[in-house]
Amino acid sequence: MTPMRLYSGPLSMFGAKAQIAAIEKCLDFELVMAPFTKEDRYDPTHPDVLRINPKKQLPVLIHGDLEIFDSTQIFEYFEDFKPHPALWPAGAAERARARLLEHRSDEVYFPHVVRLMLLEDRPADPAAVAARAAAAMFYESMEAQLAGRDYLAGDLTYADIAFYMAQLFGDRKGAPITNATPQLIRWRDRMTLRPAVRTVAGAMANYLATNRRPAPDWLPKT
């Protein structure tokens, strides 16, 4: 079968999730970066993305005659296609808990970051204040999750990849992890040292620097 083709973008959080996972799984894939501008974002985006994803969003994966979108669906395909190295736990209950952590990152935590994106020029707006407070509460729950663990579900899983990228954008938009959650900071440092993360997050850091956009100090540069 031909190599996978993964469509992402220089500031696509969900695309970066899929790219990190593909590298961690040692998959043979071609990365296609959709054009991005500050003014137009990803519009017009790559025609394959427009054709495959009704939401016109990244990432998209093509593998032979398979065409799928959504980072979580791509995670699941990666795991079915190449079970080892595993990025979900072995037991059904532990796997369900890890999947829930990944879902919470995307659907519970990240909406607060999206709210901050929309209110970037109004940080004192009550909605922005509430979003930062909600993010801080989420960090506390992840701190508790890390008790006695190096990663959120024991070993590295897709949940760690998802939350690492989500909190990166949280930091960029005004809701950084602080010393109030020291285990979470150590987890972030541990994730940052992983070669797959350094490759993907480092490229994002370089893009931000080239375009004179601020980036967190802890973000690796390639």
187-200 per-position pLDDT tens digit: 999 999 999 999 99
Q: What is the pLDDT of residues 81-94, one digit of tens each?
A: 999 999 999 999 99
CB 177 within 8 A of CB 185: yes
What value does the mean pLDDT take over residues 13-39? 90
Listed as own residue / partner, the contacts of 43-48 with beta carbons closer than 8 Å and 24 or more positions apart are 46/7, 48/7
Please check whether residue 161 is in contact with residue 17, taking contact to mean a CB–CB distance below 8 angstroms. yes
- Rounded Cα–Cα distance for residues 117 and 132 (Å): 11
Section 105-109 average pLDDT:
98
DSSP 8-state secondary structure symbol assigned to residue 107 = I
Determine the pLDDT at residue 41: 58
- Rounded Cα–Cα distance for residues 112 and 163 (Å): 13
Instruction: Give ∠ CA 208-47-200 in degrees, rounded to 5.
Output: 30
Please classify residue 109 by burial: count the beta carbons closer than 10 Å to its beta carbon, then call 0-12 exposed, 13-18 middle and 19+ buried: buried
Residue given tokens 């541990």 in the structure block: 190
pLDDT value for 35: 75
Mean pLDDT of the chain: 94
Condensed to tens digits (0 to 9), the pLDDT of residues 164-183 reads: 999 999 999 999 999 999 99
Neighbours of 92 (CB within 10 A): 8
SS3 97: helix
Count, residues in the chain: 222
**Is residue 129 predicted with pLDDT exceeding 90?**
yes
Which of 84, 209, 95 lies closest to 152 in space, CA to CA? 95
How far is 80 from 74, CA to CA, in rounded Å?
10
* Confidence grade of residue 39 (pLDDT, cut at 50, 70, 90): low
127: CB partners within 8 A, 6+ apart:
115, 119
Residue 40 has pLDDT above 50, yes or no: no
DSSP state, residue 2: P
